Amino acid sequence: MRVEPIAGALGAEIHGVDLGAALADDTVHAIRQALLDHLVVFFRDQHLAPAQLVAFGRRFGTLARYPFVAGMAEHPEIIEVTKLPHERTNFGGIWHTDTAYLDEPPMGSMLYALEVPAAGGDTLFANMFAAYDALSDGMKRMLSGLRAVNSSAKADVSRTREDRIASSPGDAARRVFEATHPVVRTHPESRRKGLYVNLGHTARFEGMTESESAPLLAFLFEHEARPEFTCRFRWTKGALAFWDNRSTQHNPINDYHGHLRRMLRITIAGDRPC
């Protein structure tokens, strides 16, 4: 097993591992450590049946279900993330961390590429530890103790999942979820502090209106996506990305109209941010 960083801020490719095989405990431990070190890890040239993807995910925790889209019939933990050639809007096409509107958002997510366009459809990832560390001491003091309200009903991100809900609605497809979390989150394993507000889901600060919250949130959303905090992954067929949802954000780029992109996604259950 070989770990090669792909950018200064975060991200590493892991070579020499067949994810469809029965992995030894020390290999799983090494992958988890690489995830903690690099926040998102990538594997290429994998050949995974859905059952193998589920088995690999379970080595890192209990699998959680996405509330808005039904999973596969035989493997309900897996949802298909597909953009068809005629569609103009992609799934999750905005900077976000997965399902921050849940009381216990997932620890991590895995995305496995079945079909990808010849060019385009890359995914950007951002390091929320680096974003927090780069703030001034005065801004850190102001954010300390602030809590933010996250909602599944934010208009921009809702539009990115409408086609999937229409074609394959989940049990809670029309329900609105809302959860309040600290603006600065302490990672439960590394104990590092990182920003935990995102453009896709964060609506306002607790105790404030949306209009009162908007100026500071706008600054934080722009700050979090600064290029020096990011990496960019170019997908290939058989590639798998595994990101730490507690310390990163991601943004799938919608630049491949007229082409098919088909992926499988699973999420790993997490805990309540603190």
122 noted as active-site residue: no
Question: Which residues pair with residue 183 across a beta bridge?
Answer: none
> What CA–CA distances, in Å, run from 56 to 50, 106, 173, 207, 261?
10, 16, 27, 42, 22
Check 32, 246, 250, 261 and give the catalytic one.
Answer: 250
Q: Which long-range contacts (C-beta less than 8 Å, at least 24 apart) are formed by 16-24? A: 17/43, 18/46, 19/43, 19/46, 19/48, 19/52, 19/56, 19/240, 20/46, 20/47, 20/48, 20/49, 20/52, 20/56, 23/56, 23/59
d(C-alpha 79, C-alpha 73), whole Å: 10
CB 268 within 8 A of CB 98: no
d(C-alpha 53, C-alpha 3), whole Å: 21
d(C-alpha 159, C-alpha 72), whole Å: 22
29 noted as active-site residue: no
257 noted as active-site residue: no
Check 32, 38, 65, 98 and give the catalytic one.
Answer: 98
Check 96, 161, 187, 246 and give the catalytic one.
Answer: 96
201 noted as active-site residue: no
d(C-alpha 242, C-alpha 245), whole Å: 9
Contacts of 2 by beta carbon, 8 Å cutoff, 6+ apart:
14, 15, 16
Active site residue ranges: 96, 98, 250, 265
